[in-house]
Amino acid sequence: MDNSLSILVVIQRDIAAMDITKGALRYLGYSAVIALDDPKIVISFLLREKCDLIIIDYDTVGDSKSSLLKAIRSHKALVNKRIVLLFKDDLDAVTLKQLYNDGVSSILKFPFQMSDVEKAIADATRSETSVVADTFSKIRQLDFFSFMTDDDIVKLLRMSKVRRYKQGDIIFDEGQAGDRFYVIIDGAISIYKQLEDGKTERLAELSQGECFGEMALLEDSTRSARAVANDDIMLFELDKTIMDSYDDIITLKLYKKFAYVFSERLRRADKKIRDLALYTYKSTTN
């Protein structure tokens, strides 16, 4: 965690949420925290002062009819700012898609645990803020997305996130909520399982174009293993809320792709079982 980040908190009309958010950030070691309760002065502040990350509450965004988010993203000097959205009520898929499209880097539900704040900040700082066109060519080359049209991929990128992780970063840990799935754009990751004797076993290594994390998403369960970046990697990430919406053809296409992935994995597992059974048979008969 980089405690040197300078963070701007923008919350209007909710003094308690403002104080709790500032207190949480300072407890986590962030000393450069500035708070504003007037969205009208945010742009001028950002142009004048150093700011690495913005935490803004949903009511403030709603009052400005998303114009504040769009103003930040449309300004050449501010386009790469990381934005964490603080919200109290659950966000539906349509709203979440629009917020991602408007430039939100990550989300944080209030009230929160300290671990939630750390995760939201980590997600935001890892978020790829470049325009869709910069990532499109890499996505287009992956077999996982071969069943999609160019328009499908552009729409998918606008309702999802692309994040970068450094070597050794934990993408998710065993026991955490399974709220998103991933496709590897660049690099490789390893999946580890904690055994009963306290040892850790590596179950798999996945590389460019492969997906992971989808089982917990589909089964609405916690993570059964840990995913760790083998090197500096780039991941495509889609939120469970969007996957659960079933409100467009892209989501249905993704589930169809999952069916192909599961079928292929079952075939490979079945082959391993047959090979193991044949090996065992030959060993006992020789």
User: What is residue 92's DSSP assignment?
Assistant: P
Mean pLDDT, 10 residues at a time, the chain of 286 residues: 89 94 96 93 93 93 71 86 93 85 91 94 86 76 89 85 94 90 95 86 92 80 92 92 73 82 78 66 61
| Per-residue pLDDT at 235 | 95
| CATH numeric code, 7-126 | 3.40.50.2300
Domains in the chain: boundaries: 7-126, 132-268
140-147 LR contacts (CB < 8 Å, sep 24+): 142/183, 142/185, 142/208, 142/209, 143/209, 144/183, 144/209, 144/210, 144/211, 144/257, 145/183, 147/253, 147/256, 147/257
- CA pseudo-torsion sign 187, 193, 198, 199: negative
Under CATH, what is the fold of the domain 132-268? Jelly Rolls (2.60.120)
| Per-residue pLDDT at 58 | 92
In terms of Cβ atoms closer than 10 Å to its own Cβ (0-12, 13-18, 19+), residue 25 is buried
